[in-house]
Amino acid sequence: MRKTVHLSNALLRAVEKPSRYVGGEWNSVIKDDTVKTRFALCFPDIYEIGMSNLALSILYQQINARDDCWCERVYQPAADMRQKMQEQDIPLFSLESKTPLSAFDIVGFTLQYELSYVTILDMLRSGAIPLYSKDRTDNDPLVIAGGPCAVNAEPVADFFDLIVVGEAELLLETLLDLWAASESKTSFLEKASRLEGVYVPAFYEDLYDRDGKLTGFHKLNEDAPLPIKRTLVKDLSQAFLPLRPIVPNSEIVHDRMVLELFRGCTRGCRFCQAGQIYRPVRERDKDTLVRQAKSLMDATGYDELGLLSLSTSDYSALETLTDDLLPLLTPRGVNLSLPSLRLDNFSFDLMKKASSTRKAGLTFAIEAGSERLRNRINKNIREDDVLEAARIAFSGGWRTLKFYLMLGLPGETDEDVDAISDIVFKVIDAYYELPPAERRKPPTITVSASFFIPKPWTPFQWAKMLPEDEYDRRVKRLTERLRHRFIRFNWHDRDMAVIEAVLARGDRRLAPVLVSVLERGGTQDSWREHFSYERWLDALAGHGLTTDDYTRGRETSELFVWDKIDIGVTKRFLQREWDLAGEDCMSHDCMTECLHCGANRFNCGVCLTHAG
Round to whole Å and give the CA distance between 177 and 287.
Answer: 32
Does the protein bind ligand SF4 through residue 611 (CB under 6 A)?
yes
Round to whole Å and give the CA distance between 176 and 68.
Answer: 9
In angstroms, the Cα distances linking 172 to 191, 198, 532 are 14, 10, 36
Residue 573 CB, nearest approach to ligand SF4 (Å): 8
Closest CA to 578 of 466, 460, 464: 460
Total residue length of the chain: 612
Does the protein bind ligand SF4 through residue 600 (CB under 6 A)?
yes
* Phi-psi region at 397: left, alpha or beta (left = phi > 0; alpha = psi -120 to 50): left
Q: Please say which residue, 248 or 568, places its beta carbon nearer to ligand SF4.
A: 568
Interacting residue with ligand SF4 among 267, 376, 474, 505 (CB under 6 A): 267
Q: Please say which residue, 127 or 454, places its beta carbon nearer to ligand SF4.
A: 454
Residues 304-343 that bind ligand SF4 (CB under 6 A): 310-311
Residue 379 CB, nearest approach to ligand SF4 (Å): 7
- Piece of the chain touching ligand SF4 by CB under 6 A; list 131-139, 223-231, 428-436, 595-603: 595-603
Interacting residue with ligand SF4 among 40, 145, 252, 595 (CB under 6 A): 595
Does the protein bind ligand SF4 through residue 405 (CB under 6 A)?
no
Q: Please say which residue, 524 or 600, places its beta carbon nearer to ligand SF4.
A: 600
Round to whole Å and give the CA distance between 164 and 23.
Answer: 28
363 forms beta bridges with 402
Residue 502 CB, nearest approach to ligand SF4 (Å): 22
Contact 334, 305 (CB under 8 A): yes
Q: Please say which residue, 36 or 601, places its beta carbon nearer to ligand SF4.
A: 601
Give me the DSSP letters along 219-234. Answer: ESSTTS-SSEEPB--S
Q: Please say which residue, 411 or 512, places its beta carbon nearer to ligand SF4.
A: 411
- Piece of the chain touching ligand SF4 by CB under 6 A; list 219-227, 481-489, 509-517, 598-606: 598-606
Closest CA to 364 of 333, 328, 394: 394
Backbone angles phi, psi at 528, to 5 degrees: -55, -40
Rounded to a whole number of angstroms, the CA Rg of the chain reads: 24
Backbone angles phi, psi at 483, to 5 degrees: -70, 115
Q: Please say which residue, 232 or 475, places its beta carbon nearer to ligand SF4.
A: 232
Does the protein bind ligand SF4 through residue 599 (CB under 6 A)?
yes
Round to whole Å and give the CA distance between 153 and 112.
Answer: 11
Interacting residue with ligand SF4 among 127, 248, 280, 522 (CB under 6 A): 280
Does the protein bind ligand SF4 through residue 7 (CB under 6 A)?
no
Give me the DSSP letters along 99-132. Answer: -BGGG-SEEEEE---GGGHHHHHHHHHHTT--SS
Interacting residue with ligand SF4 among 106, 272, 338, 466 (CB under 6 A): 272
Round to whole Å and give the CA distance between 587 and 596.
Answer: 12
Residue 224 CB, nearest approach to ligand SF4 (Å): 28
Round to whole Å and give the CA distance between 106 and 68.
Answer: 13
Buried b (16+ CB within 10 A) or exposed e, 460-478: bbbbebbebeebeebbebb
Closest CA to 233 of 279, 292, 291, 289: 279
Does the protein bind ligand SF4 through residue 151 (CB under 6 A)?
no
Interacting residue with ligand SF4 among 66, 230, 279, 509 (CB under 6 A): 279
Q: Please say which residue, 116 or 309, places its beta carbon nearer to ligand SF4.
A: 309
Does the protein bind ligand SF4 through residue 597 (CB under 6 A)?
yes
Residues 554-593 that bind ligand SF4 (CB under 6 A): 590
Residue 295 CB, nearest approach to ligand SF4 (Å): 28
Interacting residue with ligand SF4 among 265, 423, 497, 574 (CB under 6 A): 265
Q: Could you tell me which residues come within 8 angstroms of residue 361 by beta carbon, excluding any fewer than 6 positions away?
A: 398, 399, 400, 401, 402, 444, 446
219 forms beta bridges with 204
In angstroms, the Cα distances linking 450 to 363, 486, 573 are 15, 20, 26
Round to whole Å and give the CA distance between 495 and 380.
Answer: 30
Q: Please say which residue, 72 or 412, places its beta carbon nearer to ligand SF4.
A: 412
Does the protein bind ligand SF4 through residue 606 (CB under 6 A)?
yes
Interacting residue with ligand SF4 among 275, 443, 459, 506 (CB under 6 A): 275
Round to whole Å and give the CA distance between 331 and 31.
Answer: 36
Q: Please say which residue, 368 or 424, places its beta carbon nearer to ligand SF4.
A: 368
In angstroms, the Cα distances linking 599 to 238, 271, 454, 506 are 19, 18, 21, 25
Q: Please say which residue, 21 or 271, places its beta carbon nearer to ligand SF4.
A: 271
Q: Please say which residue, 176 or 599, places its beta carbon nearer to ligand SF4.
A: 599
Q: Please say which residue, 124 or 595, places its beta carbon nearer to ligand SF4.
A: 595
- Piece of the chain touching ligand SF4 by CB under 6 A; list 65-73, 224-232, 465-473, 603-611: 603-611
Residue 424 CB, nearest approach to ligand SF4 (Å): 20
Residue 589 CB, nearest approach to ligand SF4 (Å): 8
Q: Please say which residue, 201 or 456, places its beta carbon nearer to ligand SF4.
A: 456
Torsion of CA 418, 422, 423, 429, to 10 degrees: 170
Does the protein bind ligand SF4 through residue 261 (CB under 6 A)?
no
- Piece of the chain touching ligand SF4 by CB under 6 A; list 50-58, 66-74, 107-115, 272-280: 272-280
Number of residues that bind ligand SF4 (CB under 6 A): 24
Backbone angles phi, psi at 414, to 5 degrees: -60, -35
* Phi-psi region at 486: left, alpha or beta (left = phi > 0; alpha = psi -120 to 50): alpha
Contact 551, 352 (CB under 8 A): no
Residue 604 CB, nearest approach to ligand SF4 (Å): 6
Residue 339 CB, nearest approach to ligand SF4 (Å): 11
Q: Please say which residue, 193 or 312, places its beta carbon nearer to ligand SF4.
A: 312
Residue 491 CB, nearest approach to ligand SF4 (Å): 19
Interacting residue with ligand SF4 among 29, 55, 241, 274 (CB under 6 A): 274
Site residues, ligand SF4 (CB under 6 A): 265-269, 272, 274-275, 279-280, 310-311, 590, 594-597, 599-600, 604, 606-607, 610-611
